[in-house]
Amino acid sequence: MNAAHAPVLCPEAVSSIALVGAGGNFVDATFGQGGHSRQLLQRIGPQARLLALDRDADSFQCAQALAERESRVIPRRGWFGDIAETLADTGMNAVQGALMDLGLSSAQLDDPERGFSFRADGPLDMRMDQDRGLPAAVWLNKAPAAEIAKVIRRYGEERYAGRISRAICAARPLATTGQLARLVTASQPRPTRGKHGATRVFQAVRIFINEELTQLQAGLEGLFNALAIGGRLAVIAFHSLEDRIVKRFFRERSSPPSVPKEVPLRSAELKAVARIAAGPLRPSEAEVQRNPRARSAVLRVLERTA
């Protein structure tokens, strides 16, 4: 495994979901290398339990290693979309605190063999769970240009999606991250300011390959449904597509249901089921200096009230 992942907004996220010495059930739905989980374990009480979930095989191994030393940890390999089954399987309900720290871990991003980075050449894979779904190269080598352009436009908000997708189709078969990165920058008429030209395209393909946005929606629903009254869900998003989904979900749950006036309902039935407990919270300048990957992070916290 590569360099340790520096957990983003760690004290803020951990203290937003757990009181010191708290008992009950906790979920770290994005265990990664366990940065947030380790802090959470220092805060919660001896009777508490922590489900350490990740779909990545290396992260799961890391969670298993932690569980050998720490009996409160229950390691599981799984996807957000299956969280209800995972919780049922572990006998955990009435969750007091849950955390989703979205995106990639440094271990995933920095390992050229995983194919997430345009900075180092490696196989064009990009799957967080390498035992499920298609590697990016397989999809890019067979998808029609229009489908590739749609993905790059929708998930990368890339202006030159059409040109880039046509260049990809003309150059097939692609095998490496280096090939894709060079193709993208060669298709852009002007260099991108600030970021590497391939940033948006890599983000888009990764979101598509890992079904990140549908998984996020399913994870929010599954975790919220599992919360006890007073339980909290903290989410750290890293780009506007993710944050938009989190914001909308939090707004819907913290607003009274809208029903036509003529529907006879008691006021208790018209109450919101949650309240916004914190956020949007961004990292301090000092944190961004220490860890530039934190710069786009936004933390939001929802508390279940009914």
Per CB under 6 A, residues contacting ligand SAM are 5, 7, 30, 32-36, 53-56, 59, 79-80, 101, 103-105, 128, 215
Alpha helices in 158-265 (DSSP H): 161-171, 177-187, 199-209, 212-226, 240-253
Residue number with CB closer to ligand SAM (53 or 149)? 53
Smallest distance, ligand SAM to C-beta of residue 36, A: 4
Up-side HSE of residue 184: CA atoms within 13 Å toward CB?
A: 27
Residue number with CB closer to ligand SAM (49 or 114)? 114
Smallest distance, ligand SAM to C-beta of residue 73, A: 14
Q: Are 121 and 178 in contact (CB under 8 A)?
A: yes
Q: Quick one: DSSP state of residue 158?
A: -
Residue number with CB closer to ligand SAM (53 or 198)? 53
Question: In angstroms, rounded to a whole number, what is the distance separating the alpha carbons of residues 9 and 11?
Answer: 6
Residue number with CB closer to ligand SAM (213 or 276)? 213
Smallest distance, ligand SAM to C-beta of residue 270, A: 33
As a 3-state breakdown, the chain gives helix, strand, coil percent values, each rounded to 5, of 45, 15, 35
Nearest CA to 233 out of 244, 243, 245, 220 is that of: 220
Smallest distance, ligand SAM to C-beta of residue 280, A: 18
Up-side HSE of residue 1: CA atoms within 13 Å toward CB?
A: 16
Residue number with CB closer to ligand SAM (54 or 158)? 54
Smallest distance, ligand SAM to C-beta of residue 291, A: 11
Rounded to whole angstroms, the maximal C-alpha distance in the chain is 63
